[in-house]
Structure 1
Amino acid sequence: MYKVETFQLILNYLEVKSVSLKIVEDIMYLVLGIKVPCLPSKTIIAELEDFIHLLPIEKFFTIIVQYVNEDEKVQKAALFTFTTEFHDLLRALEALKEYQVFVVYLEKAGLPVIESIQALHHAIGMEKYVPPKIKNLFMSLSKIQKIGDGMERLLNELYDVLPLDKIDALYRKKLKTSKVFVDFIAKITSKEMMEIIKNLTAHETYKLFITRTKEVGLDVEGSTNLSKRIIGLKPLY
């Protein structure tokens, strides 16, 4: 029974509603000698991967490759991440107390943010990120056909192929059946999180980072909004 998906949905729903089945498990063991299986809970990463599986990956990669190969503005933005100027901007941002609070909060919410930052540093040729070269994908960018659309249009095209109905349906389902997901959403949409983001985005170093990256066509905020929508979150701030 424990391997049946419908039965698991019932158990998960009860868990989300904070209904404890421990007394039932104890009675089954004491009276009937039946030991209830201890099944491992899904991590928040596994929960979020379910959203990734909904994406039309082939279309995503086709769009991205097309822009990387053909759009001069996207190429300029991508190559900017390998420059000393971008590294200095990112290093200054990461040194902020407000940024460190943001990272720690997301780590506690279950996201491997530090690991992701370290991977980014490695990818763009920066020194290793220490908390409180992935192969260069842009070595051959000689083919330029599409001019003027840039990263904003790239993100819009990626957004247009999102299966929003399926994403929203999965989001609603997980809110009913996954305590891990419910707890995660509660944390990243909490007043505490909003205050952390407010403090970070109000800092002059953050504003400089966003302003300069926008000037070269690197849409950091747009990428963040796309990522949020992929997991069912609609713009909250």
Structure 2
Amino acid sequence: MKFALALLALVATASAYEIPNFGRGELRHDIQDFLDLVPVEKVIEITIQYYVEDKEFQDMVKYFESEGFKQLVKDVEALPEIKILMDYIHNAGIDIYKIVNKINSALKLPPLTPPSYSIGTYITGGIKGFIQDILDVLPRQQFKDLYEEKLKTSKAFADFIAQLKSENFQHIVNKLYVHPKFQELLTHARNAGVDLVKLKDLFEVLWGIKVPAY
């Protein structure tokens, strides 16, 4: 119920999300350009309808509130590679710790400490349907075009993508993949009919992230 009320509050105040930042650095502007393409109100409307009408989606929400999922989040956040990545984003001017700590707060997990230095819609149904319904309202070609443009025109964005393609980030992916709780999450996704191979291919093509075979 608290989750549903939170979603309703989001709809009431829906506006383009603005990345918390330290007022410097170009990376925030690059990421913000992508977020500005997201039709926030439509995404929230679809999400609420799934929460109200779709049992599979409701079960997913329950899983996200479970102790098992909380432990997965804690274990991932404890990875040294995650610390390296978050500090990189932090130093690039984005207050990533504020974003992550909002998630931790919702999960009733302790906050992470940043570095001491500052630098009425039809729904398809099911988790697979939820993913597809969200994808259907996203301007995918605009995302692709903006991605290619940013790679050419923004060193900050290009450096960020290089981080995602780095050995450090690949270590994060590999460690996360073999985590028992993550395997449990993959099982939930497979049982829900989510095309994990498509997601794997998308990560590799777009971000250069090599996900082990499912």
> Do these two structures clear the TM 0.5 threshold for a shared fold by scoring above it?
yes
Q: Which AA in structure 2 matches 1:170? A: L
Structural RMSD (CA): 3.5
The match for 1:155 among 115, 131, 135 is: 131
Structure 2: how far apart are the matches of 1:171 and 1:236? 16
- Counterpart of 2:16? none
Structure 2: how far apart are the matches of 1:221 and 1:104? 30
- Counterpart of 2:66? 83
TM-score, length-scaled by structure 1? 0.58
Is the Cα–Cα contact under 8 Å of residues 161 and 207 in structure 2 kept in the other structure?
Answer: no
Deviations 1:73-130 (A, max 9, x none): 11111122223333234334444xxx23223224314454433332112112x23134
Aligned positions, number: 171
Q: Which blocks of at least 5 consecutive residues in structure 2 are unaligned?
A: 1-22, 115-122
From the superposition, tell whether residues 178 and 165 of structure 1 become closer, same or farther in structure 2 (CA, over 3 Å): same
Is the Cα–Cα contact under 8 Å of residues 72 and 182 in structure 2 kept in the other structure?
Answer: no
Determine if the alignment matches structure 1 residue 119 to structure 2 residue 94.
no
Is the Cα–Cα contact under 8 Å of residues 76 and 82 in structure 2 kept in the other structure?
Answer: no
- Counterpart of 2:165? 189
Q: Which AA in structure 2 matches 1:102? A: I
How does 1:71-110 map onto structure 2 within 5 Å?
71-95=54-78, 99-109=79-89, 110=92
Structure 1: how far apart are the matches of 2:126 and 2:111? 29
Between structure 1 and structure 2, the one with the greater Rg is: 1
Structure 2: how far apart are the matches of 1:91 and 1:193? 18
- Counterpart of 2:10? none
Answer 1 or 2: higher relative contact order, Cα 8 Å, separation at least 6.
Answer: 1
Q: Report % sequence identity.
A: 23
Deviations 1:191-218 (A, max 9, x none): 44324422x1354xx2x11232345559
Q: Which blocks of at least 5 consecutive residues in structure 1 are unaligned?
A: 1-39, 133-145
- Counterpart of 1:201? 176
TM-score, length-scaled by structure 2? 0.64
SS of 2:49's partner is helix
Structure 1: how far apart are the matches of 2:160 and 2:56? 36
